[in-house]
Amino acid sequence: MPDEMTTDPTPGAPPAAPSAAETPVHPQNSELVSFAIGVAGWLLPGLGHALIKMWGRAVACFLVVGALVFLGVGMRGNVFSSEGSDAFGMLGYAADLGTGSFYFAARALETDGSDVAHAEGDYGTRFLAAAGVLNLLAALHAYEAARGRKA
């Protein structure tokens, strides 16, 4: 592919400056700081992006994950607990935990329990699980962006 072809540098010449495509958009943080940013993004949706000043993404993550959790609870979806006896329950618990602090908000809000006998409740369960997985994806994105890998 022509775009990736490079010519050998002249012997003795100083190394060329990195091209714009190689330059990270955000300054690289240490591994520990990047990890902390990822964890913060998991604990509170959008916080990871807010810490690296990606405001649009921070607001979008917070609102979308919050809306999915709110709708999931409102549709009386199943908020899984750690007491699940089968693999599906444990998988659901892992997905729900992905929402971080919103998991506890969901448990507090769903006072009447779940109702998966109806279609709304089944959809609500999917909304809650999708919120968790989406937040994990966003936290991973914030971690990678903090490392300067992508923006």
Judge contact between 135 and 100, C-beta under 8 A.
Answer: yes
Question: If binding means CB under 8 A, how many residues of this protein chain bind other proteins?
Answer: 29
Q: Which stretch binds other proteins (CB under 8 A): 4-12, 36-44, 72-80, 85-93?
A: 72-80
Query: Would you say the C-alpha torsion 119, 121, 124, 129 has a positive or negative sign?
Result: negative
**Contact pick of 9, 24, 30, 74 for other proteins (by CB under 8 A):** 74
- Using CB under 8 A, which of 68, 79, 95, 136 touches other proteins? 68
Burial of 96 (0-12, 13-18, 19+ CB in 10 A): buried
Which residues does 51 contact at the CB level (< 8 Å), separation at least 6? 37, 40, 41, 142, 146
By CB under 8 A, tell whether 56 contacts other proteins.
Answer: yes
Binding to other proteins (CB under 8 A) within 102-141 occurs at: 108-109, 111-112, 119-120, 123, 126-127, 130, 134, 137-138, 141
Q: How far is CA 25 from CA 107, 111, 148, in A?
A: 39, 45, 7
Please tell me the number of Cα atoms within 13 Å of 144 on its side-chain side. 9
Which residue stretch of 34-42, 70-78, 79-87, 89-97 sits at the interface with other proteins (rule: CB under 8 A)? 70-78
Binding residues (CB under 8 A) for other proteins: these are: 56-57, 60-61, 64-65, 67-68, 70-71, 73-76, 108-109, 111-112, 119-120, 123, 126-127, 130, 134, 137-138, 141, 151
